[in-house]
A and B are shown apart, each in its own frame.
Chain A
Amino acid sequence: MNSDVLITGIKRAVKYLREKKKFLDNINVFPVEDNDTGDNLFETLNQAIKEIKDTSPHFLKKFAEKTFFTARGNSGLIISQFFSGFLGELDGKNKIDPEIFVKAFETGRKRAYDAVSKPLEGTILTAIKETEKALKKSLSKGDGFVDTLKFSLKNGEEAVLRTKEMLQELREKNVPDAGAYGFYYIFKGIVECYETYGDRGDNRKGKS
């Protein structure tokens, strides 16, 4: 993987959030039923990406920095901090091998947990944590990069669905956490781009 593929992946993530934001809004019942998590996640990333030129050097770092300004709601704040750690470590790298990717993901996860006064499981934090666990597990088995990403995406989605049982508000409505599901779509965008483009990242920025 390289930075260009990651940029394309983030664009695809934004596209997914645009498509899924109504769905995410509808299942947003925790901590309160204010039905705006999809919109908050989408706007946090979309506003940030709109402000950076495709050809801008250090696109990833700039994108992460912009989300600090555009963060909306708790989920937006958490994803902003995740990207600050994750992309901060990957920015400018011509080659991102699986070990570097997982290490950066870990930094992102730590920043995400640090962003809230009382980190709570059953939320977007759980989706990030469980995805990271799966990344590490797959990597330790010696899987290839694509397989590692696909395995962690699948495990991440299962963790998202398990959030239904983790918080009373979600149990009552029988829905997974909207922020957690939002993270799944963001990660899905990145994983799919790597599946599509592999290490051929040149001139892919405009595509999603």
Chain B
Amino acid sequence: MKIVTDESTIIPEEFSEYVEIIPLRLTCGKRDYTGAGHNEILRAIEEGKYFKTGMPSPAIFLEVYRKYKNDKVISVHVSSKISGVINSAITASKMARKEGIDVVVVDSKSAGPACGIGIMRGIRYYESKKRTTIQKVAKVIAESAQKSYAVMAVPESHRLIKIRPIEGLKRFFKNPDYFVKFLRSRGGFPVLALIGEGIHIIEFAREKSKALEYMINFLKEKTKNKRISIMYFYSTEKRFIYDLEELIENDFEIKNKWIARMTPVTLSAVGRYAFGFSFYIDE
């Protein structure tokens, strides 16, 4: 089994045996950054550059599906409400099937971090079963992603205003509640909750400690102290994760834990110092 996803998804490197990540089209003016690594993106961010993302053409998906023609392929992507990438995957998958390649496309109906949790749970499910089908694994992935939550602090939030997938922020000034929160924080950065296909601002924080507090409160509210599987993620500062781990692992029962660095495209969208976690309640 091979899982194909795209750069919107956040997933730890340890799953690379099963997962192929297709780069999103990434440009800054006339310059093409598609496939660029973290360091190159970071340098561009430090130079004050802003990026624009675009979906890969169906031909790119088809090429990858062909590469795994002897495998069963599950192509998992963020919600069609957030990005058009899944349409490219669907178009390519129809052509792949005509060539006899077994591809199932999954709309995770979630954002990147929850999509990652869904994929990981799908892989674990696959490993635990001697006999299963890709349809069953795809179902586990979709259900897990939809039941997952994510929370993220974005200190360089000005970048989000210019980036398409989180365009909801652009409208935040229209939302009186957000505006009050923003003023109350005296110009803090947003702490976001990613629930299913929606992106919401929980609060604004001026200091990291306050952001951590909001994140933990969100976790408590959603889990009600039930056992969880969790994936921490960061854009540039892994050390921020250690603070989170300390706070969370004292108070919550953790079944599985992973740490992932955000993809270069996600870094280009959320900027430096962003961090957070996605989690799934293990019933």
| A binding-site residues for B, Cβ under 8 Å | 31-34, 36, 40, 68-74, 77, 80-81, 114-118
Contact = CB atoms under 8 A, between A and B. Distances in A.
B63 to A, nearest CB: 10
Interface residues on B, range: 20 to 34
Contacts of A32: 164, 167
23 contacts: A31-B81, A34-B164, A34-B167, A68-B57, A68-B59, A71-B58, A71-B59, A72-B25, A72-B54, A73-B54, A74-B55, A74-B84, A74-B87, A77-B55, A77-B58, A77-B84, A77-B88, A81-B91, A115-B87, A116-B87, A117-B86, A117-B87, A117-B107
A40 B25 CA distance: 12
Contact of A70 (B57, B107, B170): B57
B164 A71 contact: no
CB-CB nearest 3 A-B residue pairs: A69-B59, A74-B84, A32-B167
Nearest to A115: B91
Contact of B57 (A36, A69, A118): A69
B101 to A, nearest CB: 16
Given A77-B87, A116-B90, A33 B80 contact: no
B170 A33 contact: yes
Given A33-B170, A68-B59, A69-B57, A77 B91 contact: yes
A114 B86 CA distance: 12
Nearest to B95: A68
Interface string B33-52: 00000000000000000001
Of A70, A71, A81, most B-chain CB atoms within 10 Å: A71
Given A32-B164, A32-B167, A68-B62, 13 more contacts: A33-B170, A34-B164, A36-B54, A68-B57, A69-B59, A70-B57, A71-B58, A72-B25, A72-B55, A73-B55, A81-B91, A116-B90, A117-B107
A115 B90 contact: yes
A75 to B, nearest CB: 9
Contacts of B55: 72-74, 77
B210 interface: no
B167 A73 contact: no
